[in-house]
């Protein structure tokens, strides 16, 4: 865990350590989300919801003792020795997206494993087998999915799985596909399939999260989407979705405040989370500050008080500028 905590400081900025802890355990306030976005750590939002604060502080203490970071007034910063340490280790997690998939990732993957087993046995007209799931929710979702399926479900489902796996890196595709069970084959556990480099904590957890997120990101339509759509909706803040719905129906922010009986801070959280999650966010409906003469560091460190604009517009301007550079 110590090396992973060190990677959170890799951008070289001074980071508030308490906010890093809140990020890792899944606190979804706009300040935590923006901190994660600004400093390249948003992918880890809620990656370790049961991580104890005393354990986190212990890890920080080890980094300080080994002179890998320095901490002053609650802010941590990577040292020269820390930079050298990070240059010697490489753990690529480019597909990890806890903001988008973190809430229901495990449920979605378990439902998919169950679906593969069910469809495999049905395609061979086999009904006498021990299901990997017997919990009511999964049984209900499976019955609902099968009840509304077309006669060619098995073939369509198989084709979609093949297409998704072809889009994934070979290592992650093998890691996921070898977990499947069905007629005549038994899947292995994640632990059995982890590459040796990733077998220690917390990298084992992050590798699994990253692989599943890579898979889920490829699902846009078809039977896979129909199977997982209910769970996928639960990945997203439902209150935020309601605010989004009103705004896309041409309600003003003041009208939304009145209709929803929410505080301005809560509405700000909704819009910021929406902007960080959705490439199609309607920035054009806000007065965006021109940051073109500033570099990334200056934009991140800009102070709201120095601009004559509402707080929400200021934050959305920062997101717009930085996201446009990172996503384009």
- Predicted confidence (pLDDT) per residue in 194-213, tens digit: 999 999 999 999 999 999 99
Residue 100 in any domain: the answer is: no
Q: Do residue 60 and residue 163 come from a single domain? A: no
Is the residue at 99 inside a domain? Answer: no
Q: Are residues 283 and 204 part of one domain?
A: no
Residues 77 and 121 in one domain: no
Residues 170 and 271 in one domain: no
Q: Is residue 297 scored above 80 in pLDDT?
A: yes
DSSP conformation class of 113: H
Q: Are residues 149 and 226 located together in one domain of the fold?
A: yes
Res. 327 pLDDT band, cuts 50 70 90? low
Residue from 77, 90, 127, 115 nearest 224 by CA: 115
Q: Report, in this order, helix, strand and coil percent for the chain, each rounded to 5.
A: 60, 5, 35
Q: Does 138 lie in the same domain as 58?
A: no
Say yes or no: 196 and 110 in one domain.
yes
Domain final residue, candidates 65, 90, 115: 90
Q: Are residues 254 and 226 in the same domain?
A: no
250 in a domain, yes or no? yes
Helix (H, G, I), strand (E, B) or coil at 72: strand
Residue 75 located in a structural domain: yes
E-only strand ranges, the chain: 15-16, 69-72, 75-78
CATH number at residue 50: 1.10.10
Kindly state whether residues 129 and 186 are assigned to the same domain: yes
In the prediction, which pLDDT does 90 show?
Answer: 85
The confidence score (pLDDT) of residue 292 equals 84
User: Looking at the structure, do residues 220 and 254 belong to the same domain, yes or no?
Assistant: no
- pLDDT of 328 strictly over 70: no
CB atoms within 10 A of CB 116: 21
Residue 23 pairs with which residues in a beta bridge?
Answer: none
Q: Which domain holds residue 250?
A: 238-327
- Where is the domain boundary, 90, 116, 134? 90
Percentage of residues of the chain with pLDDT beyond 90: 95
Q: What is the pTM of this model?
A: 0.94
* Radius of gyration, alpha carbons of the chain: 22
Residue 326: per-residue pLDDT: 67
Q: Is the residue at 36 inside a domain?
A: yes
Domain boundary among 179, 205, 234: 234
46 is a domain residue: yes
83 and 127, same domain (yes or no): no
Answer whether residue 96 is part of any domain: no
CA distance 235 to 141: 17
Work out how many domains the chain is built from and give that number: 3
């Amino acid at each position: 865990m110590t090396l992973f905590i060190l990677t959170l400081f890799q951008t070289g900025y001074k980071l508030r350590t308490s906010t890093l802890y809140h990020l890792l355990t899944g606190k979804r306030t706009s300040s935590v989300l923006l901190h994660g976005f600004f400093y390249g750590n948003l992918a880890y939002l809620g990656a370790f919801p049961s991580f104890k604060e005393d354990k986190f502080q212990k890890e920080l203490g080890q980094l300080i003792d080994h002179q890998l970071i320095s901490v002053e007034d609650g802010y941590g910063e990577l040292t020269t020795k820390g930079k050298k340490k990070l240059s010697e280790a490489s753990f690529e997690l480019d597909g990890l997206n806890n903001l988008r998939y973190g809430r229901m990732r495990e449920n979605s993957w378990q439902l998919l494993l169950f679906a593969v087993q069910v469809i495999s046995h049905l395609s061979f007209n086999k009904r006498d087998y021990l299901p990997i799931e017997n919990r009511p929710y999964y049984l209900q979702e499976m019955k609902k999915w099968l009840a509304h399926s077309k006669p060619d479900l098995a073939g369509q489902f198989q084709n979609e799985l093949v297409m998704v796996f072809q889009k994934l890196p070979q290592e992650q595709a093998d890691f996921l596909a070898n977990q499947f069970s069905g007629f005549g084959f038994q899947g292995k556990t994640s632990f059995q399939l982890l590459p040796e480099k990733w077998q220690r904590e917390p990298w084992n957890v992050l590798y699994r999260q990253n692989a599943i997120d890579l898979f889920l990101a490829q699902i846009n339509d078809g039977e896979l989407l129909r199977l997982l759509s209910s769970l996928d909706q639960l990945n997203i803040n439902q209150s935020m979705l309601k605010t989004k719905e009103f705004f896309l129906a041409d309600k003003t922010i003041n009208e939304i405040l009145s209709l929803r009986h929410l505080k301005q801070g809560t509405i700000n959280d909704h819009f910021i989370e929406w902007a960080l999650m959705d490439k199609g966010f309607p920035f054009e409906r806000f007065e965006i500050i021109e940051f073109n003469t500033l570099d990334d560091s200056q934009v991140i460190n800009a102070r709201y008080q120095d601009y004559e604009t509402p707080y929400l517009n200021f934050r959305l301007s920062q997101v717009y500028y930085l996201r446009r550079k990172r996503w384009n």
